Amino acid sequence: MTTSSPNLSRIGLAGLAVMGQNLAFNIAEKGFPISVYNRTTSKVDETVKRAKQEGNLPLFGFHDPESFVNSIQKPRVIIMLVKAGAPVDQTIKTLSVYMEKGDCIIDGGNEWYENTERREKAMTELGLLYLGMGVSGGEEGARHGPSMMPGGSFEAYTYIEDILLKVAAQVPDSGPCVTYIGKGGSGNFVKMVHNGIEYGDMQLIAEAYDVLKSVGKLSNEELQRVFSEWNKGELLSFLIEITTDIFGIKDDKGDGYLVDKVLDKTGMKGTGKWTVQQAADLSVAAPTIASSLDARFLSGLKEERVEAAKVFESGGFSDILTDQVVDKEKLIDDVRQALYASKICSYAQGMNLIRAKSIEQGWDLKLGELARIWKGGCIIRAVFLDRIKKAYDRNPDLANLLVDPEFAKEIIERQSAWRRVVCLAINSGISTPSMSASLAYFDTYRRDRLSANLVQAQRDYFGAHTYERTDIPGSFHTEWFKIAKQSKI
Protein backbone atom coordinates (compact mmCIF):
# COMPACT_ATOMS: atom_id res chain seq x y z
CA MET A 1 0.00 0.00 0.00
CA THR A 2 1.29 3.45 -0.87
CA THR A 3 1.79 5.88 1.94
CA SER A 4 0.86 9.50 1.53
CA SER A 5 1.71 12.82 3.05
CA PRO A 6 0.48 13.13 6.66
CA ASN A 7 -2.10 15.79 5.83
CA LEU A 8 -4.24 13.32 3.87
CA SER A 9 -7.10 11.45 5.57
CA ARG A 10 -6.93 7.69 6.03
CA ILE A 11 -10.52 7.15 4.82
CA GLY A 12 -13.54 9.03 3.49
CA LEU A 13 -17.26 8.84 4.28
CA ALA A 14 -20.10 10.14 2.09
CA GLY A 15 -23.64 10.49 3.45
CA LEU A 16 -24.07 12.26 6.77
CA ALA A 17 -27.51 11.24 8.01
CA VAL A 18 -27.61 9.79 11.55
CA MET A 19 -25.77 6.51 10.77
CA GLY A 20 -23.12 8.19 8.60
CA GLN A 21 -22.36 10.89 11.14
CA ASN A 22 -22.05 8.46 14.01
CA LEU A 23 -19.84 6.02 12.10
CA ALA A 24 -17.58 8.92 11.03
CA PHE A 25 -17.16 10.01 14.67
CA ASN A 26 -16.45 6.41 15.71
CA ILE A 27 -13.71 6.09 13.04
CA ALA A 28 -12.17 9.47 13.97
CA GLU A 29 -12.28 8.68 17.68
CA LYS A 30 -10.31 5.46 17.04
CA GLY A 31 -7.49 7.63 15.69
CA PHE A 32 -8.11 7.44 11.93
CA PRO A 33 -8.29 10.88 10.26
CA ILE A 34 -11.46 10.95 8.12
CA SER A 35 -12.81 13.17 5.35
CA VAL A 36 -16.58 13.59 5.07
CA TYR A 37 -18.86 14.73 2.28
CA ASN A 38 -22.60 15.23 1.85
CA ARG A 39 -24.62 16.61 -1.04
CA THR A 40 -26.33 19.04 1.35
CA THR A 41 -23.41 21.17 2.50
CA SER A 42 -25.07 22.30 5.74
CA LYS A 43 -24.84 18.68 6.93
CA VAL A 44 -21.07 18.77 6.38
CA ASP A 45 -20.72 21.94 8.48
CA GLU A 46 -22.93 20.53 11.22
CA THR A 47 -20.82 17.32 11.34
CA VAL A 48 -17.51 19.24 11.51
CA LYS A 49 -18.91 21.39 14.34
CA ARG A 50 -20.09 18.31 16.28
CA ALA A 51 -16.67 16.64 15.80
CA LYS A 52 -15.02 19.62 17.48
CA GLN A 53 -17.50 19.46 20.39
CA GLU A 54 -16.93 15.71 20.81
CA GLY A 55 -13.24 16.22 21.54
CA ASN A 56 -11.59 17.78 18.51
CA LEU A 57 -11.87 14.58 16.49
CA PRO A 58 -9.68 14.36 13.33
CA LEU A 59 -12.62 14.86 10.96
CA PHE A 60 -12.48 17.11 7.90
CA GLY A 61 -15.48 18.30 5.91
CA PHE A 62 -15.67 18.93 2.16
CA HIS A 63 -18.37 20.66 0.12
CA ASP A 64 -17.45 19.31 -3.30
CA PRO A 65 -16.76 15.70 -4.38
CA GLU A 66 -13.44 16.40 -6.10
CA SER A 67 -11.65 17.97 -3.15
CA PHE A 68 -13.25 15.30 -0.88
CA VAL A 69 -11.81 12.43 -2.97
CA ASN A 70 -8.42 14.14 -3.32
CA SER A 71 -8.13 14.59 0.45
CA ILE A 72 -7.86 10.81 1.04
CA GLN A 73 -4.60 8.85 0.95
CA LYS A 74 -4.16 6.26 -1.81
CA PRO A 75 -5.43 3.64 -2.39
CA ARG A 76 -8.52 5.62 -1.41
CA VAL A 77 -11.31 4.01 0.58
CA ILE A 78 -14.72 5.70 0.75
CA ILE A 79 -17.69 4.44 2.76
CA MET A 80 -21.14 5.50 1.49
CA LEU A 81 -24.04 5.62 3.90
CA VAL A 82 -26.91 6.75 1.70
CA LYS A 83 -30.40 5.41 1.03
CA ALA A 84 -30.48 2.09 -0.85
CA GLY A 85 -31.32 2.05 -4.57
CA ALA A 86 -30.91 5.02 -6.92
CA PRO A 87 -29.12 7.32 -4.38
CA VAL A 88 -26.30 4.72 -4.15
CA ASP A 89 -25.85 4.67 -7.94
CA GLN A 90 -25.90 8.47 -7.97
CA THR A 91 -23.25 8.73 -5.25
CA ILE A 92 -21.01 6.18 -7.00
CA LYS A 93 -21.33 8.17 -10.22
CA THR A 94 -20.45 11.44 -8.45
CA LEU A 95 -17.38 10.04 -6.66
CA SER A 96 -15.94 7.54 -9.14
CA VAL A 97 -15.21 10.31 -11.68
CA TYR A 98 -12.38 11.49 -9.39
CA MET A 99 -11.19 8.05 -8.22
CA GLU A 100 -8.25 6.09 -9.63
CA LYS A 101 -7.47 2.42 -10.29
CA GLY A 102 -7.19 0.43 -7.06
CA ASP A 103 -9.40 2.84 -5.06
CA CYS A 104 -12.33 1.33 -3.18
CA ILE A 105 -15.98 2.17 -2.50
CA ILE A 106 -17.91 0.56 0.36
CA ASP A 107 -21.70 0.65 0.55
CA GLY A 108 -22.67 0.55 4.23
CA GLY A 109 -26.44 0.61 3.67
CA ASN A 110 -29.13 -2.09 3.62
CA GLU A 111 -28.92 -2.94 -0.05
CA TRP A 112 -30.42 -5.81 -2.04
CA TYR A 113 -27.49 -8.19 -2.58
CA GLU A 114 -27.87 -8.44 -6.37
CA ASN A 115 -27.53 -4.65 -6.69
CA THR A 116 -24.19 -4.90 -4.89
CA GLU A 117 -23.05 -7.66 -7.27
CA ARG A 118 -24.08 -5.55 -10.28
CA ARG A 119 -22.17 -2.56 -8.90
CA GLU A 120 -19.11 -4.64 -8.07
CA LYS A 121 -18.92 -5.81 -11.72
CA ALA A 122 -19.32 -2.23 -13.00
CA MET A 123 -16.62 -0.99 -10.60
CA THR A 124 -14.21 -3.77 -11.64
CA GLU A 125 -14.49 -2.56 -15.23
CA LEU A 126 -13.36 0.88 -14.02
CA GLY A 127 -10.49 -0.73 -12.07
CA LEU A 128 -12.15 0.10 -8.73
CA LEU A 129 -12.81 -2.27 -5.81
CA TYR A 130 -16.20 -2.61 -4.15
CA LEU A 131 -17.63 -3.92 -0.89
CA GLY A 132 -21.25 -4.24 0.26
CA MET A 133 -21.15 -4.02 4.05
CA GLY A 134 -24.13 -4.58 6.33
CA VAL A 135 -23.89 -2.38 9.46
CA SER A 136 -26.09 -3.21 12.44
CA GLY A 137 -26.61 -1.52 15.77
CA GLY A 138 -28.53 1.64 14.96
CA GLU A 139 -27.06 5.06 15.75
CA GLU A 140 -25.72 3.93 19.12
CA GLY A 141 -23.90 1.00 17.50
CA ALA A 142 -22.53 3.14 14.68
CA ARG A 143 -21.12 5.60 17.23
CA HIS A 144 -19.65 3.20 19.79
CA GLY A 145 -19.19 -0.11 17.95
CA PRO A 146 -21.50 -1.79 15.42
CA SER A 147 -21.53 -5.33 14.05
CA MET A 148 -20.27 -5.14 10.47
CA MET A 149 -20.71 -7.63 7.63
CA PRO A 150 -18.45 -6.76 4.66
CA GLY A 151 -18.73 -8.84 1.48
CA GLY A 152 -17.23 -8.45 -1.99
CA SER A 153 -13.61 -7.77 -2.91
CA PHE A 154 -11.28 -9.43 -0.38
CA GLU A 155 -8.49 -7.10 -1.49
CA ALA A 156 -10.69 -4.13 -0.56
CA TYR A 157 -11.33 -5.71 2.85
CA THR A 158 -7.58 -5.94 3.51
CA TYR A 159 -7.28 -2.16 2.89
CA ILE A 160 -9.53 -1.35 5.80
CA GLU A 161 -9.36 -4.38 8.07
CA ASP A 162 -7.29 -2.42 10.63
CA ILE A 163 -10.00 0.27 10.80
CA LEU A 164 -12.94 -2.14 10.96
CA LEU A 165 -11.35 -4.25 13.72
CA LYS A 166 -11.03 -1.12 15.90
CA VAL A 167 -14.37 0.46 15.01
CA ALA A 168 -16.50 -2.71 15.48
CA ALA A 169 -18.13 -3.67 18.77
CA GLN A 170 -15.61 -5.50 20.98
CA VAL A 171 -16.74 -8.65 22.81
CA PRO A 172 -14.24 -9.64 25.55
CA ASP A 173 -14.14 -13.40 24.94
CA SER A 174 -14.60 -13.47 21.15
CA GLY A 175 -13.09 -10.32 19.67
CA PRO A 176 -14.28 -7.59 17.29
CA CYS A 177 -17.74 -8.02 15.73
CA VAL A 178 -16.56 -7.94 12.13
CA THR A 179 -15.21 -10.53 9.71
CA TYR A 180 -14.80 -10.83 5.95
CA ILE A 181 -18.12 -12.51 5.08
CA GLY A 182 -17.46 -13.72 1.55
CA LYS A 183 -17.64 -12.90 -2.13
CA GLY A 184 -20.24 -10.88 -4.06
CA GLY A 185 -23.30 -9.66 -2.21
CA SER A 186 -22.86 -12.06 0.72
CA GLY A 187 -22.39 -9.24 3.25
CA ASN A 188 -25.71 -7.63 2.26
CA PHE A 189 -27.46 -11.02 2.19
CA VAL A 190 -26.25 -11.90 5.70
CA LYS A 191 -27.36 -8.48 7.00
CA MET A 192 -30.77 -8.97 5.32
CA VAL A 193 -31.30 -12.32 7.09
CA HIS A 194 -30.04 -10.76 10.34
CA ASN A 195 -32.91 -8.27 9.96
CA GLY A 196 -35.37 -11.10 9.22
CA ILE A 197 -34.30 -12.84 12.45
CA GLU A 198 -34.74 -9.47 14.16
CA TYR A 199 -38.36 -9.29 12.87
CA GLY A 200 -39.01 -12.73 14.38
CA ASP A 201 -37.35 -11.79 17.68
CA MET A 202 -39.34 -8.57 18.04
CA GLN A 203 -42.65 -10.27 17.23
CA LEU A 204 -41.97 -13.10 19.72
CA ILE A 205 -41.23 -10.54 22.45
CA ALA A 206 -44.42 -8.63 21.55
CA GLU A 207 -46.44 -11.87 21.83
CA ALA A 208 -44.88 -12.66 25.24
CA TYR A 209 -45.89 -9.13 26.33
CA ASP A 210 -49.44 -9.60 24.98
CA VAL A 211 -49.96 -12.87 26.88
CA LEU A 212 -48.56 -11.44 30.12
CA LYS A 213 -50.55 -8.21 29.83
CA SER A 214 -53.86 -9.54 28.42
CA VAL A 215 -54.09 -12.91 30.17
CA GLY A 216 -51.82 -12.39 33.19
CA LYS A 217 -53.04 -8.78 33.69
CA LEU A 218 -49.51 -7.60 34.49
CA SER A 219 -49.05 -3.85 34.91
CA ASN A 220 -46.22 -1.96 33.18
CA GLU A 221 -44.34 -1.88 36.51
CA GLU A 222 -44.63 -5.68 36.79
CA LEU A 223 -43.68 -6.13 33.12
CA GLN A 224 -40.58 -4.02 33.67
CA ARG A 225 -39.59 -6.17 36.67
CA VAL A 226 -40.18 -9.40 34.71
CA PHE A 227 -38.19 -8.32 31.66
CA SER A 228 -35.39 -6.95 33.85
CA GLU A 229 -35.20 -10.37 35.53
CA TRP A 230 -35.27 -12.19 32.16
CA ASN A 231 -32.37 -10.03 31.01
CA LYS A 232 -30.16 -11.61 33.67
CA GLY A 233 -30.56 -15.14 32.32
CA GLU A 234 -30.75 -17.08 29.07
CA LEU A 235 -32.76 -14.27 27.37
CA LEU A 236 -30.08 -11.65 28.10
CA SER A 237 -30.10 -9.54 24.93
CA PHE A 238 -30.30 -6.04 23.51
CA LEU A 239 -34.00 -6.40 22.58
CA ILE A 240 -35.01 -7.62 26.07
CA GLU A 241 -32.95 -4.79 27.59
CA ILE A 242 -34.60 -2.03 25.52
CA THR A 243 -38.04 -3.59 26.14
CA THR A 244 -37.36 -3.35 29.89
CA ASP A 245 -36.57 0.35 29.44
CA ILE A 246 -39.71 0.97 27.35
CA PHE A 247 -42.02 -0.35 30.10
CA GLY A 248 -40.58 2.18 32.56
CA ILE A 249 -41.01 5.34 30.50
CA LYS A 250 -43.87 7.64 31.58
CA ASP A 251 -45.89 9.65 29.07
CA ASP A 252 -44.58 13.22 28.88
CA LYS A 253 -47.80 14.42 27.19
CA GLY A 254 -50.35 12.92 29.57
CA ASP A 255 -50.95 10.38 32.31
CA GLY A 256 -49.65 6.83 32.49
CA TYR A 257 -47.00 5.11 30.44
CA LEU A 258 -45.88 6.03 26.94
CA VAL A 259 -45.99 2.45 25.59
CA ASP A 260 -49.78 2.41 26.05
CA LYS A 261 -50.17 5.51 23.84
CA VAL A 262 -48.06 4.22 20.93
CA LEU A 263 -50.22 3.38 17.89
CA ASP A 264 -50.32 -0.39 17.24
CA LYS A 265 -49.30 -0.15 13.61
CA THR A 266 -45.83 -1.40 12.66
CA GLY A 267 -43.72 0.10 9.91
CA MET A 268 -40.92 -1.58 7.98
CA LYS A 269 -38.15 -0.86 5.50
CA GLY A 270 -38.30 -4.09 3.47
CA THR A 271 -35.46 -6.34 4.65
CA GLY A 272 -37.89 -8.67 6.47
CA LYS A 273 -39.98 -8.98 3.31
CA TRP A 274 -36.87 -9.75 1.23
CA THR A 275 -35.89 -12.46 3.74
CA VAL A 276 -39.26 -14.20 3.41
CA GLN A 277 -39.16 -13.90 -0.40
CA GLN A 278 -35.68 -15.44 -0.45
CA ALA A 279 -36.82 -18.26 1.84
CA ALA A 280 -39.62 -19.05 -0.63
CA ASP A 281 -37.22 -18.85 -3.61
CA LEU A 282 -34.79 -21.26 -1.92
CA SER A 283 -37.56 -23.58 -0.59
CA VAL A 284 -36.40 -23.02 2.99
CA ALA A 285 -39.12 -23.02 5.66
CA ALA A 286 -39.00 -19.79 7.70
CA PRO A 287 -42.46 -19.72 9.34
CA THR A 288 -41.45 -17.72 12.42
CA ILE A 289 -39.99 -14.93 10.30
CA ALA A 290 -42.86 -15.12 7.79
CA SER A 291 -45.52 -14.90 10.51
CA SER A 292 -43.77 -11.86 12.02
CA LEU A 293 -44.02 -10.20 8.60
CA ASP A 294 -47.74 -11.12 8.35
CA ALA A 295 -48.23 -9.67 11.84
CA ARG A 296 -46.80 -6.34 10.61
CA PHE A 297 -49.11 -6.40 7.57
CA LEU A 298 -52.16 -7.06 9.80
CA SER A 299 -51.11 -4.38 12.27
CA GLY A 300 -51.22 -1.93 9.37
CA LEU A 301 -54.97 -2.54 8.97
CA LYS A 302 -55.74 -0.51 12.10
CA GLU A 303 -58.99 1.03 10.78
CA GLU A 304 -60.28 -2.34 9.54
CA ARG A 305 -59.41 -3.99 12.86
CA VAL A 306 -61.31 -1.32 14.80
CA GLU A 307 -64.40 -2.04 12.63
CA ALA A 308 -63.93 -5.82 12.89
CA ALA A 309 -63.80 -5.57 16.69
CA LYS A 310 -67.22 -3.86 16.62
CA VAL A 311 -68.68 -6.52 14.25
CA PHE A 312 -67.61 -9.40 16.48
CA GLU A 313 -68.65 -7.69 19.70
CA SER A 314 -72.15 -6.97 18.35
CA GLY A 315 -72.26 -10.51 16.92
CA GLY A 316 -72.09 -11.91 20.43
CA PHE A 317 -68.35 -12.64 20.56
CA SER A 318 -67.73 -12.28 24.28
CA ASP A 319 -64.35 -11.41 25.68
CA ILE A 320 -62.89 -14.83 26.45
CA LEU A 321 -60.25 -13.33 28.69
CA THR A 322 -62.61 -12.59 31.58
CA ASP A 323 -62.98 -16.31 32.41
CA GLN A 324 -59.26 -16.95 32.90
CA VAL A 325 -57.84 -17.46 36.35
CA VAL A 326 -54.08 -17.69 36.11
CA ASP A 327 -51.20 -18.24 38.46
CA LYS A 328 -49.09 -15.18 37.62
CA GLU A 329 -45.71 -16.57 38.67
CA LYS A 330 -46.31 -19.83 36.79
CA LEU A 331 -47.44 -17.90 33.70
CA ILE A 332 -44.34 -15.66 33.78
CA ASP A 333 -42.07 -18.71 33.97
CA ASP A 334 -43.95 -20.52 31.19
CA VAL A 335 -43.81 -17.49 28.89
CA ARG A 336 -40.07 -17.13 29.49
CA GLN A 337 -39.51 -20.75 28.43
CA ALA A 338 -41.86 -20.45 25.44
CA LEU A 339 -40.05 -17.31 24.28
CA TYR A 340 -36.64 -19.00 24.48
CA ALA A 341 -37.75 -22.15 22.63
CA SER A 342 -39.49 -20.09 19.92
CA LYS A 343 -36.36 -17.98 19.52
CA ILE A 344 -34.23 -21.08 18.82
CA CYS A 345 -36.57 -21.87 15.91
CA SER A 346 -36.32 -18.33 14.52
CA TYR A 347 -32.50 -18.42 14.51
CA ALA A 348 -32.48 -21.97 13.11
CA GLN A 349 -34.59 -20.78 10.16
CA GLY A 350 -32.32 -17.77 9.53
CA MET A 351 -29.15 -19.89 9.64
CA ASN A 352 -30.66 -22.50 7.27
CA LEU A 353 -31.56 -19.72 4.85
CA ILE A 354 -28.00 -18.33 4.91
CA ARG A 355 -26.57 -21.81 4.37
CA ALA A 356 -28.91 -22.54 1.42
CA LYS A 357 -27.92 -19.26 -0.26
CA SER A 358 -24.24 -19.89 0.45
CA ILE A 359 -24.47 -23.28 -1.29
CA GLU A 360 -26.41 -21.82 -4.24
CA GLN A 361 -23.90 -18.98 -4.73
CA GLY A 362 -20.72 -20.83 -3.71
CA TRP A 363 -20.01 -18.27 -0.95
CA ASP A 364 -18.71 -20.80 1.61
CA LEU A 365 -20.13 -18.82 4.55
CA LYS A 366 -19.14 -19.83 8.08
CA LEU A 367 -22.28 -19.89 10.24
CA GLY A 368 -20.42 -20.06 13.55
CA GLU A 369 -18.40 -16.98 12.60
CA LEU A 370 -21.64 -15.09 11.79
CA ALA A 371 -23.03 -15.97 15.22
CA ARG A 372 -19.77 -14.65 16.72
CA ILE A 373 -19.93 -11.22 15.01
CA TRP A 374 -23.60 -10.86 16.06
CA LYS A 375 -22.68 -11.21 19.74
CA GLY A 376 -22.07 -7.47 20.07
CA GLY A 377 -23.03 -4.19 18.42
CA CYS A 378 -26.05 -5.45 16.47
CA ILE A 379 -29.79 -5.42 17.23
CA ILE A 380 -30.05 -9.20 17.73
CA ARG A 381 -27.00 -9.35 20.00
CA ALA A 382 -27.65 -11.84 22.77
CA VAL A 383 -25.85 -14.18 25.13
CA PHE A 384 -27.68 -16.93 23.26
CA LEU A 385 -25.53 -16.36 20.14
CA ASP A 386 -22.57 -17.82 21.98
CA ARG A 387 -24.50 -21.09 22.19
CA ILE A 388 -25.13 -20.95 18.43
CA LYS A 389 -21.43 -20.35 17.72
CA LYS A 390 -20.51 -23.35 19.91
CA ALA A 391 -23.11 -25.52 18.16
CA TYR A 392 -21.45 -24.82 14.78
CA ASP A 393 -17.98 -25.24 16.32
CA ARG A 394 -19.03 -28.70 17.49
CA ASN A 395 -20.45 -29.53 14.07
CA PRO A 396 -19.93 -27.13 11.11
CA ASP A 397 -22.27 -29.32 9.00
CA LEU A 398 -25.11 -29.22 11.54
CA ALA A 399 -28.34 -29.77 9.58
CA ASN A 400 -30.45 -27.63 11.93
CA LEU A 401 -29.82 -25.88 15.26
CA LEU A 402 -32.75 -27.86 16.69
CA VAL A 403 -30.76 -31.12 16.52
CA ASP A 404 -27.63 -29.76 18.20
CA PRO A 405 -27.50 -31.85 21.43
CA GLU A 406 -27.48 -28.77 23.70
CA PHE A 407 -30.38 -27.00 21.96
CA ALA A 408 -32.35 -30.25 21.60
CA LYS A 409 -32.06 -30.77 25.37
CA GLU A 410 -33.20 -27.20 26.07
CA ILE A 411 -36.22 -27.53 23.78
CA ILE A 412 -37.25 -30.85 25.36
CA GLU A 413 -37.06 -29.24 28.82
CA ARG A 414 -39.18 -26.28 27.70
CA GLN A 415 -41.72 -27.86 25.39
CA SER A 416 -44.44 -28.39 28.05
CA ALA A 417 -44.33 -24.71 29.03
CA TRP A 418 -44.26 -23.71 25.34
CA ARG A 419 -47.38 -25.78 24.59
CA ARG A 420 -49.17 -24.41 27.68
CA VAL A 421 -48.55 -20.81 26.59
CA VAL A 422 -49.72 -21.38 23.00
CA CYS A 423 -52.86 -23.25 24.21
CA LEU A 424 -53.61 -20.58 26.80
CA ALA A 425 -53.24 -17.84 24.18
CA ILE A 426 -55.51 -19.67 21.72
CA ASN A 427 -58.14 -20.32 24.40
CA SER A 428 -57.94 -16.66 25.44
CA GLY A 429 -58.37 -15.30 21.92
CA ILE A 430 -54.86 -13.79 21.90
CA SER A 431 -52.93 -14.27 18.66
CA THR A 432 -49.38 -15.60 19.02
CA PRO A 433 -48.57 -16.21 15.35
CA SER A 434 -44.78 -16.46 15.68
CA MET A 435 -44.79 -18.57 18.85
CA SER A 436 -47.36 -20.90 17.27
CA ALA A 437 -45.39 -20.99 14.00
CA SER A 438 -42.20 -21.85 15.89
CA LEU A 439 -43.96 -24.67 17.70
CA ALA A 440 -45.44 -26.00 14.46
CA TYR A 441 -41.98 -25.82 12.86
CA PHE A 442 -40.52 -27.87 15.71
CA ASP A 443 -43.40 -30.37 15.68
CA THR A 444 -43.08 -30.83 11.91
CA TYR A 445 -39.31 -31.13 11.91
CA ARG A 446 -39.16 -33.69 14.74
CA ARG A 447 -41.68 -36.14 13.19
CA ASP A 448 -40.39 -38.91 10.96
CA ARG A 449 -43.75 -39.24 9.21
CA LEU A 450 -46.03 -36.38 8.15
CA SER A 451 -49.41 -36.03 6.48
CA ALA A 452 -47.60 -35.04 3.27
CA ASN A 453 -48.38 -38.52 1.90
CA LEU A 454 -52.02 -37.41 1.54
CA VAL A 455 -51.00 -34.20 -0.26
CA GLN A 456 -48.89 -36.25 -2.69
CA ALA A 457 -51.84 -38.60 -3.30
CA GLN A 458 -54.08 -35.59 -4.02
CA ARG A 459 -51.51 -34.14 -6.44
CA ASP A 460 -51.28 -37.43 -8.27
CA TYR A 461 -55.10 -37.78 -8.36
CA PHE A 462 -55.85 -34.41 -10.00
CA GLY A 463 -52.60 -33.68 -11.83
CA ALA A 464 -50.86 -37.03 -12.42
CA HIS A 465 -47.81 -35.57 -10.63
CA THR A 466 -46.69 -39.09 -9.55
CA TYR A 467 -45.46 -40.12 -6.11
CA GLU A 468 -42.79 -42.26 -4.51
CA ARG A 469 -43.50 -45.14 -2.15
CA THR A 470 -42.08 -45.99 1.28
CA ASP A 471 -41.59 -49.65 0.41
CA ILE A 472 -40.55 -49.85 -3.27
CA PRO A 473 -38.12 -47.50 -5.08
CA GLY A 474 -39.26 -45.61 -8.20
CA SER A 475 -41.93 -43.16 -9.32
CA PHE A 476 -45.61 -44.20 -9.47
CA HIS A 477 -48.90 -42.95 -10.86
CA THR A 478 -52.31 -44.34 -9.96
CA GLU A 479 -55.64 -43.89 -11.80
CA TRP A 480 -57.28 -42.85 -8.53
CA PHE A 481 -60.39 -41.46 -10.24
CA LYS A 482 -61.10 -44.64 -12.25
CA ILE A 483 -60.57 -46.94 -9.27
CA ALA A 484 -62.77 -44.77 -7.05
CA LYS A 485 -65.50 -44.65 -9.74
CA GLN A 486 -65.50 -48.45 -10.18
CA SER A 487 -65.75 -49.04 -6.45
CA LYS A 488 -68.87 -46.82 -6.34
CA ILE A 489 -70.68 -48.85 -9.02
Give all strands (DSSP E) within 218-372, no chain letters: none
User: Does 15 count as an annotated binding residue?
Assistant: yes
User: Does 414 count as an annotated binding residue?
Assistant: no
What is residue 86's DSSP assignment? H
Of the residues 43, 117, 120, 191, only one is catalytic, namely: 191
* Active-site residue flag, 390: no
- In terms of Cα–Cα distance, which of 17, 164, 172, 176 is closest to 104? 164
User: Does 136 count as an annotated binding residue?
Assistant: yes
Q: Which residues contact 403 (CB under 8 A, 6 or more apart)?
A: none
User: Does 215 count as an annotated binding residue?
Assistant: no
- Which amino acid is residue 372, in one-letter code? R
User: Does 186 count as an annotated binding residue?
Assistant: no
What is residue 486's DSSP assignment? H
* Active-site residue flag, 369: no
- In terms of Cα–Cα distance, which of 136, 339, 147 is closest to 229? 339
User: How far is residue 313's CA from residue 316's CA, in Å, rounded to a whole number?
Assistant: 5
Q: Given 3-state DSSP classes, what are the helix, strand and coil percentages for the chain, each rounded to the nearest 5?
A: 60, 10, 30
User: How far is residue 64's CA from residue 194's CA, in Å, rounded to a whole number?
Assistant: 35
User: Does 19 count as an annotated binding residue?
Assistant: yes
User: Does 465 count as an annotated binding residue?
Assistant: yes
User: Does 84 count as an annotated binding residue?
Assistant: yes
Of the residues 198, 273, 343, 375, only one is catalytic, namely: 198
Distance of CA 358 to the CA centre of its chain: 17
CA-CA-CA-CA torsion sign (433, 435, 441, 444): negative
- In terms of Cα–Cα distance, which of 190, 195, 188 is closest to 112? 188
Give all strands (DSSP E) within 378-424, no chain letters: none
Whether the bond between 287 and the residue before it is cis, its omega within 30 degrees of 0, is no
User: How far is residue 6's CA from residue 40's CA, in Å, rounded to a whole number?
Assistant: 28
User: Does 138 count as an annotated binding residue?
Assistant: yes
- In terms of Cα–Cα distance, which of 355, 342, 193, 358 is closest to 277? 193
User: Does 82 count as an annotated binding residue?
Assistant: yes
What is residue 301's DSSP assignment? -
Rg (CA), the chain: 26
User: Does 96 count as an annotated binding residue?
Assistant: no
What is residue 444's DSSP assignment? H
User: How far is residue 207's CA from residue 212's CA, in Å, rounded to a whole number?
Assistant: 9
User: Does 482 count as an annotated binding residue?
Assistant: no
What is residue 129's DSSP assignment? E
User: Does 195 count as an annotated binding residue?
Assistant: yes
**255 backbone dihedrals φ, ψ, rounded to 5°:** -85, 165
Burial class (CB in 10 A: 0-12, 13-18, 19+), 474: exposed
User: Does 377 count as an annotated binding residue?
Assistant: no
User: Does 137 count as an annotated binding residue?
Assistant: yes
Q: Which parts are annotated binding residues?
A: 15-20, 38-40, 82-84, 110, 136-138, 194-195, 199, 269, 296, 459, 465
Q: Which parts are annotated binding residues for NADP(+)?
A: 15-20, 38-40, 82-84, 110
Q: Which residues are catalytic?
A: 191, 198
Q: Which parts are annotated binding residues for substrate?
A: 110, 136-138, 194-195, 199, 269, 296, 459, 465
